[in-house]
Amino acid sequence: MKYLKKMESLPDNRYNRVCTRVNKQLNMIRTAVIIAWISFATFFLGIVTILVSFFSRTGNAPHLVARFWAKSILFVSRVKVSVKGISKIDPSGSYVFMANHQSNFDIPVLLGCLPFQFRWLAKAELFRVPVFGRGMRGCGYISIDRSNRRAAFASLKTASETIRNGASVLIFPEGTRSLDGKIRPFKKGGFILTINAGVPIIPIVIKGTWFIMPKDRLIIKPRNVTLEILEPIDTSKYTRAEKDDLIEDVRKIMCESFEKKE
């Protein structure tokens, strides 16, 4: 109480500076706790995922372990996610999910809040992380090396086979995280994959994760997130020659939803 009375007696400008300093320190402590948990959960559940993968031919069981990993991170980080449009997805269907990419927190948000089996199409660098990368392989996730054109097309072929076997694939069509929170231009690879596989695209719009942890900031700040699932897009009317039209159509739909005020 004495401390609070002392704070209240300070001039406004000094009081604001003290509050700002305290908030920064609290954010740093919170971030350290969250990072410590992520490190522990990644190591421990990564090993569990690897072990489970030896007994799973489909990768479904390891994916469930990965989902628990994601939910634990959201819980510790105090991130609440509101999911809209879940009824638009047929759990028995195969799709290519396409989500905008604002932050590292997009991964636990999607993994923890989409109650369906899917396989990530993720950059090769993630698969080189000890334990984590081996766990991703155990889940059946697909590595794509963007620096090697031939390897990238081989990854797309693997993803097409995965879809034909009845699984869905999730990609970030922007290819990397947004610097300013806005939706970036889309890469072509995921759309070639979708046209080749002949399955619908499910656009997913994420709002709020950029404020939790932007690309150029390490500090983690809790915030509510919205994950909106949009109407499936039929890709059967597009050919590979018309992939640019498909890209434009999907991006337009996602941008309109992203920019729409709640």
Domain containing residue 99: CATH number: 3.40.1130
pLDDT along the chain (262 residues), means of 10: 49 63 83 95 91 86 93 96 94 92 95 91 80 81 76 78 83 91 91 89 96 90 95 93 95 94 68
Tell me the pTM. Answer: 0.85
pLDDT value for 262: 63
pLDDT value for 4: 45
What is the distance, to the nearest Å, from the Cα of residue 54 to the centroid of all Cα atoms in its chain? 26
pLDDT value for 16: 64
Count: domains in the chain: 1
Q: How far apart are CA 24 and CA 28, in angstroms?
A: 6
Owning domain of residue 110: 2-259
**Residue 171 β-bridge partners:** 98
Phi, psi of 161 (to 5 degrees): -65, -40
Q: Give all strands (DSSP E) within the chain, no chain letters.
A: 81-84, 96-99, 119-123, 142-144, 169-171, 201-207, 225-229
Residue 254 in contact with residue 102, Cβ under 8 Å? no
pLDDT value for 14: 66
Q: How far apart are CA 184 and CA 191, in angstroms?
A: 15
**Residue 123 β-bridge partners:** 144
